[in-house]
Structure 1
Amino acid sequence: MPYSLVLNLVPQEAIPKSHLTGRHLHALFLDLVRSQSPNLATTLHGQTTAKAFTLSPLQPTTKQHIGTLQWTYRHAISAGTPCWWRITLLDDALFGQLAHLWLGLSSKQNWSLGGSPIQVTSVLGTPQSSQSWSNYSPYDQLYAQASDSNRKLHLTFCTPTTFRVSDYDCALPTKESVFKGLLKRWNHYSHIPFPDTLLEPVYPSFFNIRTELATDSRSKLIGCVGDITFQILGDVKPETIKQLNTLTSYSLYTGIGRKTPMGMGQTFPGKPDAKPRRQHLPKPRKSRRYANAS
């Protein structure tokens, strides 16, 4: 069952910018897992493909708006600042092994983010009116609730999203780079396999994206953020449409692209709340000499 858990955190000391990288958040997650199962932490650390979890960047605010996750920081996060942090789990067994962790996290216990002490005040695992990122859904429910008639597949890339093409990274999302990863994870973790030919009728129909830089102490990557819509074209069976809508919904839990366990590729499925402004060329002004001519 995919889970999207939101941890509400309070730093006990200021967290410097150097401790807010994906690498430090990845280490914090493994520390949380290690407190319950050292062997599981070792297994997760060693995964190279079909990662069973994703992590968001730390969000230093209680307010959240879809499409506006923060991944860069100009200043340190001050002590006492309410923050939230999202962890997604794709494997049913993984959540079960960590169930005692989520239930037993105490606000009296300090954890360390790159050496900065923090406290976990609560864990959200169900949809909230004030927090759209917390959710869960069994695989068969994700499939059952997917539309078999909706032909527009909307995605919002909320943190820089990049894809591996041959030996290099590419920030341009194509249907193959976006949906092949979703299909691979779905077939790996669910018990409802989808065919490899599923992507043939999918074509991009709208995009409002821009490139952004994601940096940490080890690397700099260029990714894309923004909105994109793929359309299902041609004479397509309802079953195929349903499967593609399922993958789109699944992106909430899997993220898209590379380094999703480091905060990149955070994705929200569905049509963005705000429509992009259309750009209009200014109307040419009439020449005064021409307007006064008789």
Structure 2
Amino acid sequence: MPHSLILNLTPKSPIYPQFLTGRHLHALFLTLVSSVDKELGTHLHDSKADKAFTLSPLQISKRNSPIAKGSKRGSILKSQHQEAISTGTPCWWRISLLDDALFGKLTQLWLNLNPQQPWHLGSADLYITSIQGTPQSTQPWANACSYNQLYEQASDSERIISVNFATPTAWRQGKYDSTLPTRESVFKSLLSRWNKYSGIEFENLNFDAIFPSFINIHTEIVPDSRSKFIGIVGEVSYRIMGDVEAIQIKQINALADFALYCGIGRKTTMGMGMGRRVRS
């Protein structure tokens, strides 16, 4: 069962931009895991395989306002910070977990959360004040749904799929990255993770009938100490064209709904490739 959890955080001291990178947030997540299961934390650190979690960049909370810049339907999240986040500034951070085993092992962390315990992000200390796991009107990134529910609730007739790429997204092609959101790159990325974690394998699913019908994207560059990551942000709508079996339409819609949890493309455990389906 995939979970998309929002951790609400308050810094005890300023968080400087050099500690707000994907690498530092990845390290914070492993610290949280190791606090309840050291062996699991070490395993996740050492594993080179596709991992059963994704992370977002750290976001500053804004009361009674949209959670990020962008359209009413979708949004673009802040993927890098030029200035320090001040002491006491309310923040949020999304962690998604793609299998029950990982969620179960972290249950003690969620149940025994101590809002007075500081956690380290670089040179800063911060408190986890609460965790959200269900949808909120001002927080569309929180949710939980079983794989069976995702599949059963997926439409077998809806032909328009709009995807909000909220943090820079790119796909590996050979030795290099590509920022072109083709039907193959987007939906094969979703299919690979669905087949790995859901237990409901989609065999012989063909994407040839999917065509882009609306594109509003631009590229963003996210520098790191070792490299630069270039990815797209914005919205792309795809339309299923022609004579397509209802079961295939249902499977494609299930993949689109799954995007909220699994991310799209590369570096999803470093805050990149954060996306979700949006509807008018």
- Displacement of 1:219 in angstroms is 1.3
Query: Would you say the 8 A contact 1:67–1:268 is kept in 2?
Result: no
- Displacement of 1:62 in angstroms is 3.5
Query: Would you say the 8 A contact 1:50–1:184 is kept in 2?
Result: no
2:233: which partner in 1?
225
2:71: which partner in 1?
none
- Displacement of 1:196 in angstroms is 3.6
1:277: which partner in 2?
none
The Cα offsets for residues 194-244 of structure 1, whole Å up to 9 and x where unpaired, read as 024332322222111111111221210111000001111111111110000
Task: Indicate yes or no: 2:220 matched with 1:212.
Answer: yes
1:22: which partner in 2?
22
Report SS of the residue matched to 2:206. Answer: helix
Identity of aligned residues (%): 54
Task: Indicate yes or no: 2:201 matched with 1:198.
Answer: no
1:291: which partner in 2?
none
Unaligned runs of 5+ in 2: 69-73
The code of the aligned residue for 2:195 comes to N
Look at both structures and tell me which one has the larger radius of gyration over its CA atoms: 1
**Equivalent-residue separation in structure 1 for 2:253 and 2:4 (angstroms):** 19
1:40: which partner in 2?
40
121, 125, 135: which one aligns with 1:127: 135
105, 111, 121: which one aligns with 2:119: 111
Aligned length: 272
1:93: which partner in 2?
101
237, 242, 266: which one aligns with 2:274: 266
The Cα offsets for residues 32-75 of structure 1, whole Å up to 9 and x where unpaired, read as 00001111112222332332000000001244144131112121
Query: Would you say the 8 A contact 2:57–2:271 is kept in 1?
Result: yes
2:247: which partner in 1?
239
**Equivalent-residue separation in structure 2 for 1:244 and 1:163 (angstroms):** 19
Report SS of the residue matched to 1:197. Answer: coil
**Equivalent-residue separation in structure 2 for 1:233 and 1:93 (angstroms):** 38
**Under a length normalisation based on structure 2, what TM-score does the superposition of the two structures give?**
0.94
The code of the aligned residue for 1:11 comes to P
1:284: which partner in 2?
none
**Equivalent-residue separation in structure 2 for 1:72 and 1:204 (angstroms):** 29
Unaligned runs of 5+ in 1: 274-294
Task: Indicate yes or no: 2:17 matched with 1:9.
Answer: no
CA RMSD for the aligned pairs? 1.2
